Amino acid sequence: MSDLKDILNSYQPACVALQETHLQPENSFRLHGYTVFRKDHPANRASGGVVLLISNNIPSSVLTLNTPFQAVAAQIFTHKLITVCSLYWPPNTDIDETNLNLMLQLPEPFVILGDLNGHSQIWGSDDTNSRGREIEKLLHDHNLCLLNTDEITHFHTPTRTFHSIDLAICSPSLLPFFSLQTDPE
């Protein structure tokens, strides 16, 4: 929690998307200066889960999503109305086209920030796995833009290896206004 507070104090972001929060419904989660929207793991286990933190200086409203995925979305008004979605796809979850209706529920323009657990050479992985191919197909079929470059986004402690499984995806109209950078720390 102290690392998150340090990030918020250093960057003062308008919005933060968190995945694998491991919160249960009875856990209180508040941060000074931010509105918290969250969706915990559906089995009420302390695993998975997503959170959106929206600065109290930014008008926002949560959206209701009908999806089996761990996802939470809100509309925020900065210079224009934008939908922001925090998404977690556990590695063992099957993803098929019928479950991808999440994209159709997000008012455009939108940005999806998530731990999607997919590997693809397009976003810097050494190889492409089946999840990565599903995500590539999703991007193509829905005419979405990937903000990731080949920067590493995740350090897997047990294997001491680096991966790019955290993705930022947006509507084409937002592409000129966003870029993705990872903090060296």
- Residue 9's H or E segment, with its range, is helix 2-11
φ, ψ (nearest 5 deg) of residue 121? -65, -20
> Tell me: the pLDDT tens digits for 49-99?
999 999 999 999 999 999 888 999 999 998 899 999 999 988 887 776 656
Q: Which residues contact 76 (CB under 8 A, 6 or more apart)?
A: 14, 15, 54, 58, 59, 60, 82, 83, 84
For residue 158, what are the β-bridge partners? none
- Residue 7's H or E segment, with its range, is helix 2-11
Q: Which two tokens stand for residue 74?
A: 């809100």
> In the chain, what are the domains?
1-177 (3.60.10.10)
Q: Is 23 helix (H, G, I), strand (E, B) or coil?
A: coil
Pairing mode of beta strands 34-39, 50-55:
antiparallel
Label residue 4 by pLDDT band (50, 70, 90): confident
Q: Side chain identity at 183, as an amino acid letter?
A: D
Task: Confirm if 86 and 71 have CB atoms less than 8 A apart.
Answer: yes
d(Cα 23, Cα 10) in Å, to the nearest integer? 25
Is the C-alpha dihedral spanning 34, 35, 41, 43 positive or negative?
positive
What global pTM score does this model have? Answer: 0.88
> Tell me: the pLDDT tens digits for 12-59?
999 999 998 888 877 888 889 999 999 988 776 656 899 999 999 999
> Tell me: the pLDDT tens digits for 101-127?
788 899 999 999 999 888 888 888 888
φ, ψ (nearest 5 deg) of residue 129? -105, 180
Task: Give the pLDDT of residue 36.
Answer: 95
Spell out a b/e string for 157-181, using b for 16 or more CB atoms within 10 Å of the CB, else e: eeeeeebbbbbbbbbeebeeeeebe
